[in-house]
Amino acid sequence: MAGSPTAWFLVGPTAAGKSAVAQYLAEREGLDILSADSMLVYRGMDVGTDKPTADERSRVRYWGLDLVEPAEPFSVGRFLEAAREAFRAAAARVIVAGGTGLYVKGLVEGLDAAPPADPDLRKRLSELDVAGLQEELRRRDPARLESLADPRNPRRLIRAIELAECGARGVRPAREPGAPLVGLKPEPARWRARIAERVTRMFEGGLLDEARRLRERGDALSGTARHAIGYAEAFAALDGTLTVGQAREQAVRRTWQLARRQMTWFRHQVRVEWIDHDFSEPVARLADRVWAAWRKHGPNPVILPG
């Protein structure tokens, strides 16, 4: 791969419309799509992650999908290794589309070696509940707590405290301020309605059956997969601790909370030119607006592991 790779970035929160726009532009311009979504890496988790359909994948070459089994852990480092393969194959003909901020930041700023786990600190932290862990992180690094995608996940809280304790940022600062990424910023009321519609479509489209199949495979799911929005609710419905209606409502609520945290993360962590929209215009017209922003700024350089 000659020279430094570049890509067109389309970022933003979940259910903002990124997938449809990326698909449209990839087909029109002959581009590949690299998914920057931490849930799309799991095989067999298709309905609940709104993964591109077989038809969409027949028309556009995708990267970053179906990389590991749901029982396997996954990391930013592993994502960047997969991204390297995409850029080797597609060179500069890549759209990076997704809302997992650390994946995006890892691509545009690179990863430093994170400090190793501190056994003594981890032992002490493991005795705290979620509220205690949040307070520990807030005291050390409130911005890091604000940027966590799942601030109620004990494992992520403990690791964030370790990083804060060592003064590590996990990603190194960008070498120079560059062109902004391009992101979609939906109008809130219609956005929340769209989230509800998506969750309803997932439950009606076989999410419970998919969750049942994941359990029947016999492998213990990783913590990330087991607690994923939609799947956690589907498992609860299968267990009878929630009705299907309650599971659907809870998934809508958690998705909306995630979406708002993602917007907060992007506002604080990377430079983005936001394109406001309210879902009323055709995908082609919104895609034209994204394409114009990309053409104005040019593609963004990407930093990949050696």
Per residue in 126-182, pLDDT tens?
888 888 898 888 888 776 777 676 688 887 788 778 777 765 444 444 444 578 999
* Tens-digit pLDDT string for the chain (306 aa): 456 799 999 999 999 999 999 999 999 999 999 999 999 999 999 999 999 999 999 999 999 999 999 988 888 889 999 999 999 887 669 999 999 999 999 999 887 644 556 677 888 888 888 888 988 888 887 767 776 766 888 877 887 787 777 654 444 444 445 789 999 999 999 999 999 999 999 999 999 999 999 998 877 788 788 889 999 999 999 999 999 999 999 999 999 999 999 999 999 889 999 999 999 999 999 999 999 999 999 999 999 876
DSSP string, 11-37: E-STTSSHHHHHHHHHHHHT-EEEE--
Superfamily of domain 6-111+173-301: P-loop containing nucleotide triphosphate hydrolases (3.40.50.300)
User: Domain coordinates of the chain in residue numbers?
Assistant: 6-111+173-301, 119-166
- The vertex-22 CA angle with 103 and 277, nearest 5°, equals 95
**Neighbouring C-beta atoms of residue 63, cutoff 10 Å:** 18
3-state per-residue secondary structure call for 48-67:
CCCCCCHHHHHHCCEECCCC
pTM as predicted: 0.80
d(Cα 59, Cα 83) in Å, to the nearest integer?
A: 20
3-state helix, strand, coil in the chain (%, to 5): 50, 10, 35
Strand partners, 300: 7
Nearest to 36 by CA among 111, 108, 88, 115: 108
Beta strands in 136-271 (DSSP E): 181-186
Contact 111, 170 (CB under 8 A): yes
**Neighbouring C-beta atoms of residue 240, cutoff 10 Å:** 7
At how many degrees (to 10) do helices 101-109 and 76-90 cross? 60
Q: Going by DSSP bridges, is the β-strand pair 94-98/181-186 parallel, antiparallel, or unpaired?
A: unpaired
d(Cα 244, Cα 247) in Å, to the nearest integer?
A: 5
Q: Going by DSSP bridges, is the β-strand pair 6-11/300-301 parallel, antiparallel, or unpaired?
A: antiparallel
CA-CA distances (angstroms) from residue 216 to 33, 160, 220, 225, 226?
32, 33, 10, 15, 14
CA-CA distances (angstroms) from residue 8 to 108, 214, 249?
11, 34, 35
Residue 169's pLDDT is 45
Nearest to 160 by CA among 122, 105, 119, 200: 122
At how many degrees (to 10) do helices 283-297 and 18-29 cross? 70
Nearest to 107 by CA among 167, 2, 34, 41: 34
